[in-house]
Amino acid sequence: MIELSNVEKVYQTKEIETLALNQINLKIEKGEFASIMGPSGCGKSTLLNVMGLLDMPSTGSVRIQGEKVTNRKETKLAEFRNQNLGFIFQSFHLVNDLTVYDNVEMPLLYRKGISSKERKERIMSVLEKVGLSARVHHYPSQLSGGQKQRVAIARAIIGSPEIILADEPTGNLDSRMGHEIMDLLMELNKEGTTIVMVTHDEALAQKTNRIIRLFDGSLVN
């Protein structure tokens, strides 16, 4: 599903060169729920960004669904992300001036050929799935942390992506909320969605199919 070969990521400034990822060779299978763990600054988020095509590797290649996606043009990458990837972030990244409905709708705005009727049906369906159908017209400021993350999950799955990349999705939530969100992700995984999740929480990581450990930009296994 996702295949990284000899991936290296180097951040270069005038003074220093930082090797964020070092010779990463990794394969995430279809339907897998993998978690990435490691100490702060070890390159977890960078690895997730490379998988999510938000960042390009300095060397090496990334294949998603068998297609080599590195070196694609920016517009093609954006289109690919929209069609195949869903993102969940620790700080939710909801647009505060838009309602729950509008936030969830956002990925569909960048996808052609969806009628407004279909869009509405899809939004209502995913909001029901995450248990927020009663909060359609609320603004993010009117929601709890857990509800915000549910909105973010609804937004991630609205486009029916095969892969969800979650960067510490429970990091800003209390334990109970965190487990609720984890249950929701596991449910999505059961339905066939491949999930890669960065986490610091060992207990949550244990619930996933595989734990990928990183240290100083290298895989540790």
What is the binding site for other proteins (CB under 8 A)? 45-46, 49, 52, 54-55, 74-75, 78-79, 81-83, 87, 89, 91, 93, 95, 97-98, 102, 105-107, 109-111, 155, 159
If the CB atoms of residues 80 and 210 are measured against other proteins, the closer one turns out to be 80
Least separation in angstroms between CB 52 and other proteins: 7
Least separation in angstroms between CB 114 and other proteins: 12
Residue 219 has phi, psi (to 5 degrees) of: -70, 140
Least separation in angstroms between CB 157 and other proteins: 12
If the CB atoms of residues 15 and 74 are measured against other proteins, the closer one turns out to be 74
CA distances from 23 to 19, 67, 84, 151, 156 (A): 10, 20, 25, 36, 29
Least separation in angstroms between CB 24 and other proteins: 16
Let me know if 73 is exposed, middle or buried by CB neighbors in 10 A (0-12, 13-18, 19+). Answer: exposed
Least separation in angstroms between CB 206 and other proteins: 27
If we measure between CA atoms, which residue out of 162, 161, 163, 173 comes closest to residue 199? 173
If the CB atoms of residues 114 and 203 are measured against other proteins, the closer one turns out to be 114
If the CB atoms of residues 33 and 89 are measured against other proteins, the closer one turns out to be 89
If we measure between CA atoms, which residue out of 41, 48, 53 comes closest to residue 24? 48
If the CB atoms of residues 114 and 220 are measured against other proteins, the closer one turns out to be 114
Least separation in angstroms between CB 84 and other proteins: 10
If we measure between CA atoms, which residue out of 41, 10, 43, 8 comes closest to residue 212? 43
Please give the sequence-ordered ranges of beta strands (E in DSSP) within the chain, or none if there are none.
Answer: 2-12, 17-28, 33-37, 59-64, 67-68, 85-89, 163-167, 194-198, 210-215, 218-220
For the chain, what is the largest distance between any 2 Cα atoms, rounded to a whole number of angstroms? 54
If the CB atoms of residues 116 and 206 are measured against other proteins, the closer one turns out to be 116
